[in-house]
Every structure is written in structure tokens, then in C-alpha cells.
Amino acid sequence: MITLTEQASLKVKEMLAAENDPNVFLRVGVRPGGCSGFSYGIGWDKEMKEGDETFMQDGIKIVVDQDSYLYIKGTEIDYKESMMGGGFAVNNPNAIASCGCGSSFKTALAKGKEEKCD
């Protein structure tokens, strides 16, 4: 399961309202790359793919592709505001290491494709 904190849920609802399209849902995924091996991807999508995992929370449809789900199962997504702005933070229980920015990670099962940090 992928879950959103209360703050993340409120922010996603606000952003979905701005999209003004009832067919749009939140897609969460992973791709090889980043300084620790895998990078998170969070964005909007309208098309389901074969094997997608689907979760509903607070009226928000959250979709994860089958391959990504192996690496982010049980993840909680939060939204934090600061004086420098706001952003989503990912709490992935499968990550054994992550980079300083928190957007790249590796798991005990796979290390992905590590890239040099800039």
C-alpha cells in the first residue's frame, strides 16, 4: 500500500482541483538513476497500464506500476512547507540508503543505477 499523510492528501486534492480533469490520478513510481540508484517519480496521469496497483485514500486515486511497487511497497508520502517553499517527502521503509536530498534511494534487493551527484 502507498499512503499519504493528512498534509500530503490536502495538497494533492488542491493540486488535483487545479488540474480540473476528473480522469487525472496520482501516479507514483521509481526509475533507475540518482546518486543512490533509484529516483522517485510523482505526477499526474490519465492512463492505466497493465499490472498497475491502485489505492484509494481520501477520494484520491493513487496508482503505482508493478515494477516500482516492489521497491516502494509500504511507502508514506508527506508534504512539508518551509520558508523556502514546499515539497513532497517520501518515507520508504524499503530504502536502506538515500541521498541527502531524499529523492534517490537503494534497497536491500536492488541498487539501481547510481549516478554522480551534482
Q: Please name which of 23, 70, 72, 25 lies closest in space to residue 51, comparing C-alpha atoms.
A: 70
C-alpha 2: how far from chain center: 8
**Tens digit of each residue's pLDDT, the chain (118 residues):** 999 999 999 999 999 999 999 999 999 999 877 666 778 899 999 999 999 999 999 999 999 999 999 989 999 999 998 777 788 988 989 887 676 655 666 566 655 555 555 5
15, 26 in Cβ contact below 8 A? no
Grid cell digits, residue 116: 554522480
Distance, CA of 118 to CA of 114 (rounded, Å):
12
* Residue 21 grid coordinates: 480533469
* Domains of the chain (ranges, CATH numbers): 3-106 (2.60.300.12)
Would you say the pTM of this structure is higher than 0.75?
yes
